[in-house]
Amino acid sequence: MCGIVGYIGRREANDLLIEGLHRLEYRGYDSAGISILHSGENLKSKIKNLKSKNHLVTVRALGKVENLEKKVGEKMKGSVGIAHTRWATHGKPSEKNAHPHTDCAGQIALVHNGIIENYNELKEDLVKQGHLFASETDTEVIAHLIEEHLKEKDDFEAAFTEALKHLRGTYGIAAVALSQPNKLFVARMGSPLLIGVGKDEYFVASDVSAVLAHTKRVVYLEDGERAVITRDGYVVKSGKIIQKKTVSDVEWSEKEAKRGGYPHFMLKEIFDQPESFADALRGRLLPDEGTARLGGLREVEKRLEGIRRIVIVSCGTSSYAGLVGKYMLEEYAGIPVEVEVASEFRYRKMMLDKYTAVLGISQSGETADTLAALREAKKKGALTLGIVNTVGSTIARETDAGVYNHAGPEVSVASTKAFTSQLAILALLTLYLGRKRGMSLVTGQRIARELLKLPRLMERIFVQSGTIKKLAKKYAHRKNYLYLGRKYNFPIALEGAIKVKEIAYVSAQGYPTGEMKHGPIALVDKDALALFIMPLDSVYEKSVSGLEEIKARGGTVLAITTEGNTALEKKADAVVYIPKTLEMLTPILSVIPLQLFAYHMSVALGYDVDRPRNLAKSVTVE
């Protein structure tokens, strides 16, 4: 999500860190910051009332790394430091929320990637103990927690280690301390972190692309490991045990490294989904209570109880997520839900009242039509809610309440990981509203536990990536593509079709399987490919009839079904499998083969996957 760079050596850290941040900019960012530890001699003329010889200087800036670079200037002299580009998760993008964060005394500075799930509890305790917070971030608690432990330990490494024990969630952390001017402290739990090994110098980075210009020798930290790095070496520990780490040689070019070794961002983002999906659930799912805790809705909890209807407004892929949400919310929360394309909704005469919640779903949080629809809804007295990926975006700011996806920046124009994270939030919302409206504890627990399994189940689909690639190549030149699904998988038919349209530029239709005979079946001939999304669910038999109708008319069928249903291989021309899960959650898995199919088709046809023609990532005009 965010980017971390650190340096300890004999060169000026400032230049190297800024350069490293520039190399991480492709990940998306909204602000950046840097802290340098340096000796007092350089500062005499620059900083008044300098008490100690060493000094820790932190500079942050909103927006591009370039803004930070301008602000930093001369005063950042020193050869130990840390830096960060932020992509907001807790607290809007602003200078005060940018990293590095410091403790009350300004003796510690640290940068963090990941999400601290229990930061609210920790912050409450720390405030009671007298700590003063300067930001709205989850990260700042770590600095104060270390400061608190320093009161007892008087040894930075021990206090750092102790603080880590209290954190729940994910982190990649790099820290510096005034009391330890020749050391860098790092730790990893669920968020990537590596040490770049140079000659008498070491780097720290969340991503190898930040260090490749200086070294190709890296040590990857594992979850639960922490390290103390000096100019002469590093010691990696897990608990009390010193770990012997292997130094790996990175063979990627700098360009490849930017995309984590993947040839395109879209493929990277498809493969990011187990992680981004887990991040969307993190700290929100209460499996034993069979419900979800959605902090962003706390303020409107009372109003939500009186809601009688939900209208979902969104565009493109986000509106297909909304359609899946409609099926989930109606079946499990018993609330009538309408899904409206925002560009239509905004110009219709809308029947809205204070008992209606209008829910905007948007990856960018800036889509003009969705924003306008929400503004209209607000004017008419409806409760407005958002499911938004980009923290601090206009939709996030203007809605009455909402939930962030936490999917991280999505660079490729074709949406993939944002879509599955939207489905994660809609499933959480279903649990949250459903349990308040009669969903049984057992049902809630079953859904919650199944949600937790999904990241692992997604990985099982990736194993078939090679098969899907071959199929995409084989079928890349058909005249017509018909995507067909029923019930929960009808929106996935729409999503599968939009993906190939936008990146492979072919004519594709998404339809409910049952609607086929009312028109689109006329398109079927030997040049048509029908993609059936038909897991073993409550409408499976009906989907089989639809498939037979296509086969009877000479069409080719590629079916996506549940693992074990090998009988389908006799009926379809090709079959791709998804693991078994609850019917309401099947779209979260069935969309993945279709994302891969579209990706491989685009590559096979030689198109620019990440930047398709005529499209923009954020559609801020009508």
216 by Cβ neighbours in 10 Å (0-12 / 13-18 / 19+) ranks as middle
CB nearer to ligand F6R: give 139 or 416: 416
CB nearer to ligand F6R: give 362 or 543: 362
Cβ(202)–Cβ(183) below 8 Å: no
Q: x/- string (CB under 6 A) for ligand F6R, residues 496-515?
A: --x---x-------------
Is position 362 an interface residue for ligand F6R (rule: CB under 6 A)?
yes
How far apart are CB 485 and ligand F6R at their closest, in Å? 17
CB nearer to ligand F6R: give 13 or 395: 395
Say which residues have a Cβ less than 8 Å from residue 362's Cβ, sequence separation at least 6: 314, 315, 318, 370, 371, 386, 387, 388, 389, 393, 395
Is position 363 an interface residue for ligand F6R (rule: CB under 6 A)?
yes
Applying CB under 6 A, the span of 184-192, 361-369, 548-556, 583-591 interacting with ligand F6R comes to 361-369
How far apart are CB 538 and ligand F6R at their closest, in Å? 28
Cβ(586)–Cβ(560) below 8 Å: no
Kindly give the residue spans of alpha helices, DSSP state H, lying in 47-206: 65-72, 119-128, 140-153, 156-165
Partners of 586 in beta bridges: none
CB nearer to ligand F6R: give 498 or 539: 498
How far apart are CB 117 and ligand F6R at their closest, in Å? 26
CB nearer to ligand F6R: give 61 or 498: 498
- According to CB under 6 A, which residues from 273 to 332 bind ligand F6R? 315-318
Question: Which one, of 559, 561, 558, lies nearest residue 579 by Cα?
Answer: 561
Report phi then psi at 22, rounded to 5: -60, -40
How far apart are CB 367 and ligand F6R at their closest, in Å? 3
CB nearer to ligand F6R: give 14 or 415: 415
What distance in Å separates the CA atoms of residue 275 and residue 186, rounded to the nearest whole number? Answer: 21
CA distances from 281 to 60, 116, 453 (A): 30, 13, 11
Q: Exactly one of 97, 367, 543, 595 binds ligand F6R (CB under 6 A); which one?
A: 367
Applying CB under 6 A, the span of 54-62, 71-79, 363-371, 589-597 interacting with ligand F6R comes to 363-371
Token pair, residue 531, equals: 């993609």
Token pair, residue 132, equals: 């003063």
Question: Which one, of 185, 117, 113, lies nearest residue 149 by Cα?
Answer: 185
Q: What is the DSSP string of 56-74?
A: EEEEEEES-HHHHHHHHGG
**Under rule CB under 6 A, how many of the chain's residues touch ligand F6R?**
15
Q: Which residue is nearest to ligand F6R (CB)?
A: 316
CA distances from 256 to 15, 93, 263 (A): 23, 28, 7
CB nearer to ligand F6R: give 23 or 406: 406
The answer to whether 2 is a known catalytic residue is yes
The answer to whether 526 is a known catalytic residue is no
How far apart are CB 98 and ligand F6R at their closest, in Å? 24
Query: CB neighbours (10 Å) of residue 99?
Result: 31
Q: Exactly one of 97, 273, 343, 364 binds ligand F6R (CB under 6 A); which one?
A: 364
Q: Which of 2, 75, 183, 268 is catalytic?
A: 2
How far apart are CB 362 and ligand F6R at their closest, in Å? 3
- According to CB under 6 A, which residues from 223 to 282 bind ligand F6R? none
Q: Where are the beta strands (DSSP E) in 580-622?
A: none
Length of the chain: 622
Q: Exactly one of 85, 97, 415, 509 binds ligand F6R (CB under 6 A); which one?
A: 415
What's the start-to-end Cα distance of the chain, in Å?
29
Cβ(377)–Cβ(358) below 8 Å: yes
CB nearer to ligand F6R: give 87 or 160: 87
Q: Which of 71, 237, 542, 617 is catalytic?
A: 617
CB nearer to ligand F6R: give 7 or 599: 599
Q: x/- string (CB under 6 A) for ligand F6R, residues 459-498?
A: ---------------------------------------x
Is position 619 an interface residue for ligand F6R (rule: CB under 6 A)?
yes
Applying CB under 6 A, the span of 17-25, 73-81, 187-195, 360-368 interacting with ligand F6R comes to 360-368
Question: Which one, of 322, 301, 595, 614, lies nearest residue 469 by Cα?
Answer: 595
How far apart are CB 366 and ligand F6R at their closest, in Å? 7
What distance in Å separates the CA atoms of residue 427 and residue 414, rounded to the nearest whole number? Answer: 22
What distance in Å separates the CA atoms of residue 389 and residue 419, rounded to the nearest whole number? Answer: 10
How far apart are CB 407 and ligand F6R at their closest, in Å? 11
Applying CB under 6 A, the span of 225-233, 364-372, 436-444, 530-538 interacting with ligand F6R comes to 364-372
Query: CB neighbours (10 Å) of residue 452?
Result: 13
How far apart are CB 304 and ligand F6R at their closest, in Å? 23
Q: Looking at the annotation, which residues are catalytic?
A: 2, 617
Binding residues for ligand F6R (CB under 6 A): 315-318, 362-364, 367, 370, 414-415, 498, 502, 618-619
